[in-house]
Chain A
């Protein structure tokens, strides 16, 4: 679809004196599932907010030749940057089809808006099959399950033809099967698009990440492949205090356990209590 990459350089975001993001740089390319991880308050969501125009930022975020920072939200979207939110935000009163139809509408002429929809856009049919929502076409989005809402959001990004998909905790609250399905979906989607995932769930990250950037207190702590990041002692320290042994247990073993399960397992909770405030307990909370 595109060869353009998302390149973020020296990103700064400040909220009335508090530095939420202080000089973060990373890049993301089509063909990889890029992860942005870090403890609560590390500035992951703020990075996405800055790239999408929701938070004022300095530095640079370029998609190909285009500078994104400083443009209004809807103009950034029109350049091909799409995002989801931590809490799925779909149009609850509208059906799945209507939701997708609105998402597909940005390429339409304004006069087409005044007409009634007569058929289903081919891109919508494709996105429905891709996300497994074909049977829910007429269902009001408000009564979809939590996981289905997240998929609907991804489907909306697909019909929107976003070149960049910025996903904020796409698997939060999903069952294990749903997580696997979402991860596989993201890998398929990433073949042609840039996919950047903000996640707390280490297990999900380990299974599906191509490259990872770890943020801590608004700065890049480490980046590389999953194995490289896991081996980095600074990452181990941030995530689990100084208990290096527990790191291995938390980050590489524990197969079928979600973030919530991870935090509630006794060994990790103990470390969380003993270590810095931003440890395992943070992994189950949603970031503001």
Chain B
């Protein structure tokens, strides 16, 4: 189950990349390409959740926090780029003489912004994870804590309207690192960057899952105490997965801003964080493609059904959730695995053959 057939998964990622980077830009309208880009951003966060939750057993219910770190870093930079040398418009609205808050200042620099998108989630997740995992906080306590953080951050942003734009959020970005965002060609470029980053995220988790670390992470998920008695500190193992998940959420958040053109606390709060989890559970949290495809499917449902039939959409996603958890606890991706397992005769085990070969090689 946990062993990915190497060629097949690489081929899958290749096909996925071809569809996203080659086929989609040719076939889709600008509007739908933008939507697909948005789903890619959620998918990046979802791939991280798959790593932390599916493989690591940490139910990260507050990935909105890390999504926000990336998104607001990017949004502050784009806002300042649009405002030029002045102070952003929404700040002047409340107080014409308002100075730029000190924490905005470094985001004028493109290099600082890019570094912040990568380093902020690593630092925050590192400190948070260290404190939690060393104290052996896990299970529901961990989930509630991360969820509370998302609520707290959303509330903080809502209440600091002068500094962060509050519930209105940050929007009306004109430039993206010098490129005019209104230009369809540039928008396509932003989409391609996003899709490529998603493919990179998939390649990274594929390697992680195939590596010894991936095995150790599953072992830690299933029997943390046993891992401790093998001489590892499970806290460190979980920390790596947690930080990785935070980084992916942050990058997704950062790309969300130029694609969607607005970031508000609603996109990073409790509900948004849970919707990210929903996509992962739907697709299959422990599989390679499940989280990404699940998040994209939920995103698509959100923007098509959610806008034409908003009342019904809530029921549909609720019902889907119940069906998946009742009948497919490992998500939709487990349907295929079940199907192939049923077709294969019980005595035949492809993994056994390769493992025996490995043993023979080691002996000789």
Contact = CB atoms under 8 A, between A and B. Distances in A.
Contacts of B344: none
Interface size class of A (residues with CB under 8 A): 35 or more
SS of B interface (majority): helix
B222 interface: yes
Contacts of B210: 116
Interface in B176-233: 207-208, 210-213, 215-216, 218-219, 222-223, 225-233
B281 to A, nearest CB: 19
Nearest to B2: A93
Interface stretch (A34-42, A77-85, A204-212, A254-262): A77-85
Interface in A97-151: 97-99, 101-103, 105-106, 108, 112-117, 119-122, 124-125, 128, 134, 137-140
Contacts of A138: 349, 351-352, 354-356
A99 B223 CA distance: 12
Given A119-B358, A119-B362, A122-B362, A82 B215 contact: no
Given A93-B1, A115-B211, A115-B212, A106 B231 contact: yes
A97 B219 CA distance: 13
Contacts of A72: 233
A114 B210 CA distance: 9
Interface string B335-363: 00000000000000101101110110111
Contacts of B222: 91-94
Contacts of A92: 222
Nearest to B362: A120
B229 A102 contact: no
Interface residues of B, number: 35
Interface string B15-55: 00000000000000000000000000000000000000000
Interface string A156-168: 1000100000000
Contacts of A89: 223, 225-226
B229 A82 contact: yes
Interface in A153-193: 156, 160
A168 to B, nearest CB: 11
Contacts of B363: 125
Contacts of A73: 228-229
B358 A156 contact: no
Contacts of A114: 207-208, 211-213
Given A122-B362, A125-B363, A138-B355, A102 B212 contact: yes
Contacts of A125: 359, 362-363
Given A89-B223, A91-B219, 20 more contacts: A77-B229, A83-B229, A89-B226, A91-B222, A93-B1, A94-B2, A102-B212, A105-B212, A108-B212, A113-B213, A114-B213, A115-B211, A115-B212, A116-B207, A116-B212, A117-B212, A119-B361, A120-B362, A137-B356, A140-B1
Interface of A: 52, 72-74, 77-78, 82-83, 89-95, 97-99, 101-103, 105-106, 108, 112-117, 119-122, 124-125, 128, 134, 137-140, 156, 160
5 contacts: A113-B213, A125-B362, A137-B359, A140-B1, A160-B230
Interface of B: 1-3, 207-208, 210-213, 215-216, 218-219, 222-223, 225-233, 349, 351-352, 354-356, 358-359, 361-363
